[in-house]
Structure 1
Amino acid sequence: MTTPPQRAAKFPRKALAAAVTAVAVLGGLHLWLNTNAFGDAALCGGAVTAGAAETILTGAGRISDRPGPRSGTDDGKTRFDCVIERRAAALPGSGTQTLHIQGTSERGDFAFTGGRWPDASTVSFFPGGGAAPGRAWVQLPETCTAGQPGLVEAYAPETADPEQLVRLLTGTANRISTRAGCAPPAPLAAPARISPAAPQRLAAAGSVCGLPGFTVPAVLRETVQDSGTTWSCGTAAGEGARQAYATLSATQDPAVISGIRKSKGFTGQGFDATHIVSDCSGKPTYFAMETGVRYTESFGAGVPDPHDLFTAFTQAAEAKFGCAKPA
């Protein structure tokens, strides 16, 4: 006798519907809490796109923005201060990533004077901007500033891709210059490639910073960044050759030179004895020197006067930048 085939037990329709609903709810909750789906497309008052922010703040989490610590200086045009965050609410071990971006203005040679900026010898320069681990800046078009140059700068996780960060800032600069009515005919373009930071190396006696004939007492190691139009060398001395001695810089970047000449305190020759603009075979060239801890500690013990060291540097740099010597 043949046994009739058994039918599979039917899953109750109500239970099936409840399961489908639960999966949909959980999926939607995941999308809402741990991705930026259906989030705002524009951030920081329209200055930054969410898509650009996602290239910097990678991983899971929703993206939101809030006013930055200097937001009281906002003018609704080129000046603003904004913090963008990405937070994953439902994934264990995931923290908050932060991108701080602002539009501001600085003295034209801000990138070569220290302070809150990285040492210039650690910066990858490109025309109209620079990038270092976890930060970058792009100058606004010259048409946007009557005085000191405007710029957009960002502080990001040190693991952020510098090329993506510069693209974000370039897009932001274009948007806020358009908003301010000062955009040039051709928008700013991000460089195709950001050169990596140069490693520290041994300094060669009689050719410090790779400049033939240039000698700096006590300097053991050096870091040289050279983008073609902008060059900088950080020198180090002391135990382990880690103590900062002096950073020497030069640039022929037209955007930087223009910003310097517009800046408050510029006299026509420069700002002071070690931050000057010279004529280099018809091409304006900015030279700068910042002394460090080791230089200050050693001054008076066979260390040259800052003015003498700066003069020796500019003379040694003439050949590099194609400066014709007087006949």
Structure 2
Amino acid sequence: MTWLITGGAGFIGSHVVRAMLAAGERVAVLDDLSTGDPSRIPEGVPFVKGSTLDGACLRRTLRELSVAGVVHLAAKKQVAESVARPLHYYRENVHGLQTLLEACAESGVEAFVFSSSAAVYGMPDVDLVTEDTPCAPINPYGETKLAGEWMVRAAGKAHAMATASLRYFNVAGAATPELADAGVFNLVPMVFEKISRGEAPVIFGEDYATPDGTCVRDFIHVEDIASAHLAAARHLLARGPGTDLVLNIGRGEGVSVRRMIGLIGEVTGYGAECAPAGAPRRPGDPARVVASAARIRDELDWSARRDLREMVTSAWDGWCLRHPGARR
């Protein structure tokens, strides 16, 4: 059977492609290349340049490649942009998913893994976020992911597809420098950009009710994210129709922004130059968002294997590949 990876030329998608190939799975990639890079797709992997909004392309791809399972990662994912362009995000993330699910139902796809996000939780006031923590997204991006989960679950029940929605926490790291995140939207690359320019990293808010006053997050290596997708995909095929999973993907360990910036200073060799500057809180930033990883461990016998230093070191190698002057 073939697994179609939508968004497989992107940062996370390319890692999922490689993890599934390494495990002996047959994969193909569909990506519109709006943010993806075709050089990330391994040689020999079938590639279709297309959008999830193009139903005819999707039906043709599923039929011609004999696709039995889909891992859906293609989506818009910048929170600030989603606030400025909510209709664009609903079109791409919700209508695109609807079009894909319609094609899957028509083609008899057996299993569907959906890339969701911890953004569905909003600002949870709990020490550990479980899958049963109420969902209250605070931006259009999170809303589109929650709506996507509802749609995936309903389509699975109606069309005999086994389904899983995987809620990512804070993704970092890279399997190889070439696969590192090229965007500057998350904490780790944002700090890299600052120190490479000789500027101080910025901490937004130093007065939270946390041990050091800064926000606490759950960081997870992108290779662990990829291995979780592989585990979910295989579980769905083994269990068959009627299977419906919603799972957090995290390490279950909270790390403060200040601690993470300090580690970046150690790994990069920038040391004291990585001392952060304080700034006012950003609206909507919760003090603490840390995953409970108990359910994914129990359901899939999966747990994260890589630590913070591995995340930062591998991400820094990727940054320096694209910015050779940054390394000391």
Give yes or no for TM over 0.5: no
The higher-RCO structure (CA 8 Å, 6+ apart) is 2
Write 1 or 2 for the structure with the bigger share of helix: 2
TM-score, normalising length: structure 1:
0.25
Higher strand share: 1
Alignment TM-score, normalising by the size of structure 2: 0.25
